[in-house]
Amino acid sequence: MTRPILWLFAMLAAALSPAVGAAEPIRFAPLPLENREATVKAFNPLAKHLERRLGQPVTLVYFDRYDDILAAFEQDRIDLVFLGSLPYLKLRQRTDAVEPLARFKEPDGRAAYRCALIAFTDDPVRLANLKGRRVGLTQPLSTCGYLGANAMLRARAGIRLEETDYRYLGSHEKVALAVVGGEVDVGSVKEEFALKFAPLGLRVLAHSDWLPATGLFANRRVLGAERVETIRRVLLTTPSQVYQTWGGGIRHGMADARDADFDAVRRFGDPERVPAPRPLP
């Protein structure tokens, strides 16, 4: 075979083979757990893994607020999203295009976690005297935010969150540090943050029931059913030596996720009825 013919075959093969740079990117929005830099650093290895396995570029899209993520998903500006249980349920109420793919396991191997009501060790606050106390929450749509805190208070203290002086502070880290710094008397956070900041003097007053771990969700309307199942398979067959290099609490493996897994959070209440932030005193 002459060189010109070999060259022609090479050009045709290159044109027909899947090229990462040639395909439309998959737009992946991770939940804002801490800050932009930490979030991108944590999720970029996952994005690169999907990119390699799918033969398609994966672009991280960052939002500071839960509501902005949900709105972008509804408008088909997001293809994949990393969310907690409550934001997923609110999104599910708005569109049936959202498809659970996988739940990320906690360090103990469970694909579930708990919320925790925390206080400072030297503060005399108890479950019996929380009325009127300052309660720090993350964001309105955080699973451990309004509805999670309200569920714990009703079950463990016999009061409603409305009987406290609650305020939204943004992130789990900010809530924990606000408790340590005396800005609030009690905080509601994911249990891992209670443990992370325990050396600073935090103690747990109460836990929630076990809840489905944070997960990855797909926009079935944009990606299509076949592509969604391909991504699910890629995630669930990821070798441990790969996912152990990821950050942001997603380095402990994955479990399959289906809508019925989130029924425990549905019992917290309707996410559409969560009050908006109110001005701080």
- Domain assignment present for residue 13? The answer is no
Tens of pLDDT along 123-149? 999 998 999 999 999 988 889 999 999
Which of the four pLDDT bands, split at 50, 70 and 90, describes residue 36?
confident
More confident residue, 12 or 155: 155
The pTM for the full model equals 0.77
CB 213 within 8 A of CB 111: yes
In angstroms, the CA 29 to CA 38 distance is: 14
- Domain assignment present for residue 28? The answer is yes
Same domain, 157 and 197: yes
Same domain, 40 and 161: no
Tokens 């005193």 sit at which residue?
281
What is the domain-level CATH number for residue 241?
Answer: 3.40.190.10
Tens of pLDDT along 192-243? 899 999 999 999 999 999 999 999 999 999 999 999 999 999 999 999 999 9
Contacts with 254 (C-beta within 8 Å, 6 or more apart), sequence order: 102, 103, 104, 105, 111, 235, 236, 238, 243
Which of the four pLDDT bands, split at 50, 70 and 90, describes residue 34?
low
Average pLDDT over residues 185-196: 94
Q: How do the residues of the chain divide into helix, strand and coil, expressed in percent and rounded to 5? A: 45, 20, 35
- Domain assignment present for residue 247? The answer is yes
Beta bridge partners of 255: 103
Beta bridge partners of 116: 189, 207
- Residue 154 has what DSSP assignment? I
- Domain assignment present for residue 85? The answer is yes
Same domain, 76 and 92: yes
Same domain, 30 and 97: yes
Total number of domains constituting the chain = 2
- Name the residue range of residue 119's domain: 115-208
Rounded to 10 deg, the angle between the 36-54 and 225-236 helix axes is: 110
